[in-house]
A and B are shown apart, each in its own frame.
Chain A
Amino acid sequence: MRVVVGAGSCGLAAGADSLIRELKSRDLGSDTVLEITGCVGMCYLEPIIDIYDDCGELHRFTQVKVKDLDTILEHFNEDACNKFRIAEDDERILGKQVRIVLRNCGVINPESIDDYIASGGYTALERCVKEMSPEQVIDVIKESGLRGRGGAGFPTWFKWNAARNAKGKDKFMICNADEGDPGAFMDRSILEGDPHALLEGMLIGAYSMGAETCMIYVRAEYPLAIKRLKIAIEQAKERGYLGKNVLGVEGLNFEMIIRAGAGAFVCGEETALIASLEGERGMPRLKPPFPAERGYFQQPTNINNVETLANVPYIIAKGPEAFTKYGTEKSPGTKVFALTGKIKKGGLVEIPMGTPLKDIIYDIGGGIKDDREFKGVQMGGPSGGCIPASLMDTPVDYENITKTGAIVGSGGMVVMDDSTCMVEMARFFLDFTCEESCGKCTYCRLGTKRILEILERITAGEGREDDIELLEEICPKVMDGSLCGLGQTAPNPVLTTIKYFRDEFEAHLDGRCPAKVCQPLIHYHINEKCTGCTICARNCPVGAIEGALKEDHIIDQDMCTKCGICFQKCNFDAIDLLEGAYVWQE
């Protein structure tokens, strides 16, 4: 029997570490093996324990607590355990996905190269270096139509080919694992759950372009990913997939280096990433020359994203048809999305390109949390935009999402309901891009600051009559006047919210926040349901609530900071959250 605990960052955060500690402290018997695995994607069900019985059949248990372990371990194949078992509904969600990139995540032990090899790993690399010429490898990737999964959707084969044809002493294969979009975590999940797939994809790419040195630029905020990558690299060295004369092929040498990123969103831009690898401030450079010609220390360099590279071994091993049978003509294959926010079943989902948005949100995500009203979904993070509920039939592929004004980006999908203020969301993203602008281009450096100031005064209830028009005037200028993707896309969240939610902007200028979020544009009021229990008065941090026990309470509107604690604490529904600032009545 095998007991497998989901030990990705999210599983560990949900309590998997205490389960592992408990299991390790027990004597499970000589016929029982304890293992770990990566994230299966159903973060809302963590911690998850999979038990494979002696016939190899899987029994999956969700939201497991330490106190339930006894019952589960002893009676895993009996009815007594049914309440811990994964619900059919949740199992169906997995069935609706097509898992190419995440094929091994949540299945194999990421710290075991044997597990990866047993699942067919490294056969693609072996085939490439022994049976295929570099040109043939590039041709297969071309046939598959694989496009960059990091944001822009540029054809992968084209970049590899350009780096192959470029002249230079050394060539470099770089993986951008500096997942910067706040709201996306598919790369982390791959790094933690299937690190060898990334290594294999990189080595295939390196072989095709004639590079010896591979570098992984990974976020320092992902310590578990770095740890598992280091383990994977050591194992690959021992087995001869890295080092000199790889797989016995004379003169084929690969070296793999990990570099921890130091935290700068702009380093998602490839020339800025290269500057950072060179030990400089991560500021973008003018293109051309493109990195394929002159990149890392002026040598031909190719940069791919984690998810893109994790697709590569599958495409080589199964053939391009196995990839193109999913997705659309222009966007073949699958894409992993991080479904988060006001959604019932949040997590990672991998679906064929072209799947309509509403299928992802309702069929896979289970709909909106607490069945509130669905307002929209934010795609593409700070470079993307908000797609309103009315456009939920849009197929998710590069072309159709771009038409809405958002972008597929790295695959963040943050779901929003009627309690999310869209103006405030736009302010949130501009706060981020303004902070992250490297400062090189004036329009980006000052433009994002000006846009942010306008959004701040609108959400503070101090908006001016022509502020919306002013935003519409500044935004395109920032896009035109910026060198790299950060500045060119930073206004997207503002423009899409104005396009689809203009009424919310206008309401703010009228002194109302319809979502009741912006503090200067709301107020709290105690209604007649008040029983005088005093819980609100006792919890008010500024002492703005007055009233004796068993008597009506009242909020001092001048003192109230609108923190909302009374609203959360009240057990009698006696506090109303109202639109607009409080108006004195005689």
Chain B
Amino acid sequence: MEASQQKVVAEQLDLSLIDPVLQENSGHKGSAIAILQEAQEIYGYLPIEVLEKISEVTQEPLAKLYGVATFYTQFRMKPVGKHLIMLCQGTACHVMGADRVQQAIEDELKIENGETTEDGVFTLMTVACLGCCSLAPVMMIDGETYASLTSDSVRKILRNMRKESDA
């Protein structure tokens, strides 16, 4: 079952989307991270097929690319939901109660950190710091920052987003 699912994904992947990125970076030393970043921008995560193609074209060993991709927190090896919740776990947010906010998100969406909801709408990821420390606790969803969160306000935000995504 799982193997056939993976195959379907692989068939849907359009590996040619990465071509312009590879061309642009061809011959540039040390551009592995930049290529991986652009690849993630295109596919939403780093499918192994894409890593294989990057390895083939750039002549970087696949093991090295995999090593780099798993070293940095930015890179994801699994697909994410429609909305990526980046919950700040910086010092200021922690002191101001980010744990309680995380608990509320996990209860509301019935997922844990790093997981995606069954319907594929939300993925929760905690991040080190979003740099909005005076407005702690904060989270960022799809590039927009939400400030001074409480357990109640975060539930409201998520319910509204879910409603919009259902509509």
Name A residues whose Cβ lies closer than 8 Å to a Cβ of B. 9-10, 12-14, 43-44, 46, 179-185, 188, 219-223, 259-260, 262-265, 276-282, 297, 338-342, 346-347, 378, 381, 412, 414, 416, 420, 425, 428-429, 432, 436, 438, 541, 563-565, 568
* A43 and B134 form a contact (CB under 8 A): yes
* A281 and B91 form a contact (CB under 8 A): no
- Given known pairs A10-B135, A278-B30, the reply for A221 and B37 (CB within 8 Å) is no
CB neighbours (8 Å) of A179 from chain B are: 129, 131
The yes or no answer to B42 lying at the interface (CB within 8 A) is no
* B34 and A378 form a contact (CB under 8 A): no
CA distance A428 to B96 in the complex (A): 13
The yes or no answer to B75 lying at the interface (CB within 8 A) is yes
CB neighbours (8 Å) of A262 from chain B are: 33, 36-37, 72-75
CA distance A412 to B94 in the complex (A): 14
Smallest beta-carbon distance A37→chain B, Å: 17
CA distance A280 to B36 in the complex (A): 12
Smallest beta-carbon distance A360→chain B, Å: 14
Smallest beta-carbon distance A154→chain B, Å: 24
CA distance A341 to B33 in the complex (A): 34
Question: Which of the four size classes fits the interface of chain B?
Answer: 35 or more
CA distance A320 to B100 in the complex (A): 49
* B132 and A13 form a contact (CB under 8 A): yes
Q: Mind listing 9 A-B residue pairs with CB under 8 Å?
A: A10-B132, A12-B145, A182-B90, A182-B91, A221-B127, A279-B34, A340-B134, A346-B134, A564-B100
Q: Which 3 A-B pairs have the closest CB atoms?
A: A43-B134, A182-B90, A279-B32
The chain B residue sitting closest to A42, CB to CB, is: B134
CB neighbours (8 Å) of A282 from chain B are: 71-72
CB neighbours (8 Å) of B135 from chain A are: 10, 13-14, 43, 46
For B94, give its contact among A428, A438, A563 (CB under 8 Å): A428
* B128 and A432 form a contact (CB under 8 A): yes
CB neighbours (8 Å) of A416 from chain B are: 95
CB neighbours (8 Å) of A340 from chain B are: 91-92, 95, 133-134, 136
CA distance A262 to B89 in the complex (A): 17
- Given known pairs A13-B145, A282-B72, A428-B91, the reply for A185 and B132 (CB within 8 Å) is yes
- Given known pairs A340-B133, A341-B95, A347-B134, the reply for A182 and B128 (CB within 8 Å) is yes
Smallest beta-carbon distance B44→chain A, Å: 15
CA distance A297 to B34 in the complex (A): 17
Given contacts A182-B128, A280-B68, A438-B71, 11 further A-B contacts (CB under 8 A): A12-B145, A13-B132, A180-B128, A182-B93, A183-B90, A184-B133, A220-B37, A262-B36, A279-B68, A342-B95, A428-B91
* A420 and B95 form a contact (CB under 8 A): yes
CA distance A412 to B130 in the complex (A): 14
> Which positions 72-122 of chain B face chain A at CB distance < 8 Å?
72-75, 86, 88-96, 100, 103, 107
Smallest beta-carbon distance A58→chain B, Å: 22
CB neighbours (8 Å) of B140 from chain A are: 221
The yes or no answer to B138 lying at the interface (CB within 8 A) is yes
* B129 and A181 form a contact (CB under 8 A): yes
The chain B residue sitting closest to A275, CB to CB, is: B30
Smallest beta-carbon distance B47→chain A, Å: 17
CB neighbours (8 Å) of B151 from chain A are: 565, 568
The chain A residue sitting closest to B29, CB to CB, is: A297
CB neighbours (8 Å) of B147 from chain A are: 10, 13-14
* B89 and A13 form a contact (CB under 8 A): no
Smallest beta-carbon distance A177→chain B, Å: 11
For A341, give its contact among B30, B96, B130 (CB under 8 Å): B96
* B67 and A281 form a contact (CB under 8 A): yes
The chain B residue sitting closest to A345, CB to CB, is: B134
CA distance A342 to B92 in the complex (A): 9
CA distance A263 to B72 in the complex (A): 5
In this complex, the member of A9, A188, A265 whose beta carbon has the largest number of chain B beta carbons within 10 angstroms is A9
CB neighbours (8 Å) of B130 from chain A are: 9, 221
CA distance A97 to B34 in the complex (A): 40
* A183 and B145 form a contact (CB under 8 A): no
The yes or no answer to B20 lying at the interface (CB within 8 A) is no
